[in-house]
């Protein structure tokens, strides 16, 4: 029987335009040896997982003893299996790896070394991962000097800064990038960001003021034409099931509803900000939906989880610390404490979501989760559901 007691999360792998081109899957690695094959089989055949991550290549790091007798992937899925170079033995592993390649899997190497250069065994591998946790940036910048790598797909992982990413893009033929640089908070020059912050401040003030009318609120949004357009577009989403045209922001607010207005306006605002990685908006929406799913399924009478998840990305968009941003926003104290210190139920939800996204499984106390009726299986299901919900939102 296939065990469903596993955790996984995905990390964006982007191109030089910071558009998401693949998903790097983190998965829990503390399972018993006999369960690991079950995990991989389930990952490749579970339709709920497949639906959440399909249409883009899936990178996953595995061990040679995990992959014996794996089912062939469906034609709609593209898997790249990465193996640690230091664990491979050509005479022992050639047949298994050749079989995987014939089944439709692509193969990659991590912990790269020169030990297989110039051998038929090396030809089995299309991808090479170069991690900046293991290699100096200057060494990776010289990757084009290695003739044996000219025809390989190079993936540089664990990139920490936008500067390092730019150097790699300018000086190498690397096509795949991942790391914390995607969520790096850097100052953004121009007038759009301060303008959006002022609109958000004014909008929150209007919503907390019981005397403000829908006309006052719509006038606030209409100060920015792009933002107004995005809000109007939200009325076309499947969430509202409306089949008529909306011509002004005031009517859009009536459809969206005052209660959800801040959520949707912030979404529209962040999707309009220029000068940030293309994938940053989808990452923010994924976290917001995940926080919302956790709150709805494990916490009673907790509001604001979606906003907490979404607002946790404000520093990445506005180029300021979360403390500087929040001191201007008239937010409820529970949201502020959650965002600055992970305090309260909302803070616990945000921290859980962050740890899960990053694959920090050791930081997740599954016994404590049991007290709020969560298990590793239910947490995984909530994560998958949130990916699907987020996809609907950021495709609007």
Q: End-to-end CA distance of the chain: give it in Å, rounded.
A: 40
pLDDT of residue 83: 95
% of the chain beyond a pLDDT of 90: 30
Range 203-215 average pLDDT: 75
Contact between 318 and 193 (Cβ < 8 Å): yes
Query: Does position 34 have pLDDT exceeding 50, yes or no?
Result: no
| pLDDT the model gives residue 128 | 95
Q: How many CB atoms lie within 10 A of CB 209?
A: 11
> What pLDDT is recorded for position 6?
63
Phi, psi of 128 (to 5 degrees): -130, 125
Classify each residue of 155-179 as buried b or exposed e, where b means 16 or more C-beta atoms within 10 Å of its C-beta. bbbbbeeeebbebbbeebebebbbb
What six digits make up the tokens of 261?
């207005």
**With 60 as the cut, is the pLDDT of residue 103 above it?**
yes
Give the span between the Cα atoms of 257 and 31, in whole angstroms: 46
DSSP 90-112: HHHHHHHHHHHHHHT-EEEEES-
Best CA proximity match to 162, nearest among 305, 62, 18, 303: 18
pTM above threshold 0.75: yes
pLDDT of 349: 94
Q: How many CB atoms lie within 10 A of CB 263?
A: 19
- pLDDT band for 30, please (50, 70, 90 cuts): very low
> Strands, E, within the chain: which ranges?
8-14, 20-27, 58-61, 79-84, 106-110, 127-131, 153-157, 176-177
Other C-beta atoms within 10 Å of 304: how many?
21
pLDDT value of residue 179 = 92
Q: How far is CA 169 from CA 204, 278, 279, in A?
A: 40, 16, 17
Give the pLDDT score at 340. 94
Mean pLDDT of the residues in the chain: 81
| 203 touches 331 (CB < 8 A) | no
pLDDT of residue 82: 95
Whether residue 58 has pLDDT greater than 70: yes
Q: Express each pLDDT in 345-388 by its tens digit.
A: 999 999 999 999 988 888 888 788 888 888 888 888 899 889 88
Token readout for 96 is: 């298994």
The answer to whether 13 touches 20, Cβ cutoff 8 Å, is yes
- Give the integer Cα–Cα distance in Å for 214 and 317: 27
Residue 171 sits at the vertex; the CA angle it makes with 149 and 169, to the nearest 5 degrees, is 95
């Amino acid at each position: 029987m296939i065990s469903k007691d596993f955790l996984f999360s995905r990390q964006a792998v982007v191109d030089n335009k910071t558009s998401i081109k693949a998903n790097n899957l983190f998965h829990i690695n503390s399972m018993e040896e006999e369960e690991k094959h079950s995990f991989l089989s389930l990952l490749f055949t579970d339709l709920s997982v497949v639906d959440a991550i399909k249409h883009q290549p899936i990178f996953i790091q595995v061990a040679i003893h995990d992959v014996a007798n794996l089912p062939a992937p469906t034609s709609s899925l593209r898997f790249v299996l990465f193996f640690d170079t230091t664990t491979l033995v050509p005479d022992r592993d050639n047949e298994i790896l050749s079989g995987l390649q014939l089944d439709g899997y692509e193969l990659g190497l991590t912990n790269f070394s020169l030990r297989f250069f110039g051998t038929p065994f090396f030809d089995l591998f299309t991808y090479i991962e170069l991690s900046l946790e293991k290699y100096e940036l200057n060494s990776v910048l010289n990757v084009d000097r290695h003739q044996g790598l000219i025809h390989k797909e190079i993936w540089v992982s664990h990139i920490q800064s936008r500067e390092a990413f730019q150097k790699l893009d300018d000086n190498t033929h690397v096509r795949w990038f991942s790391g914390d640089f995607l969520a790096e908070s850097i100052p953004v020059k121009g007038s759009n960001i301060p303008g959006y912050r002022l609109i958000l401040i004014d909008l929150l003030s209007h919503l907390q003021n019981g005397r403000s009318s829908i006309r006052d609120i719509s006038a606030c949004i209409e100060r920015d034409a792009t933002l107004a357009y995005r809000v109007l577009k939200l009325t076309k989403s499947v969430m509202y099931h409306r089949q008529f045209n909306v011509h002004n922001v005031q009517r859009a607010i009536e459809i969206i509803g005052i209660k959800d207005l801040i959520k949707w306006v912030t979404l529209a605002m962040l999707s309009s900000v220029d000068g940030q990685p293309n994938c940053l908006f989808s990452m923010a929406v994924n976290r917001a939906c995940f926080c919302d799913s956790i709150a709805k399924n494990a916490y009673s009478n907790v509001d604001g989880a979606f906003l907490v998840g979404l607002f946790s990305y404000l520093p990445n968009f506005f180029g300021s610390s979360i403390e500087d941003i929040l001191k201007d926003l008239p937010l409820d104290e529970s949201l502020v404490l959650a965002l600055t210190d992970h305090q309260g139920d909302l803070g616990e939800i945000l921290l859980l979501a962050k740890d899960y996204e990053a694959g920090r499984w050791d930081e997740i106390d599954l016994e404590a989760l049991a007290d709020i009726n969560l298990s590793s299986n239910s947490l995984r299901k909530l994560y998958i559901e949130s990916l699907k919900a987020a996809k609907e939102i950021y495709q609007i």
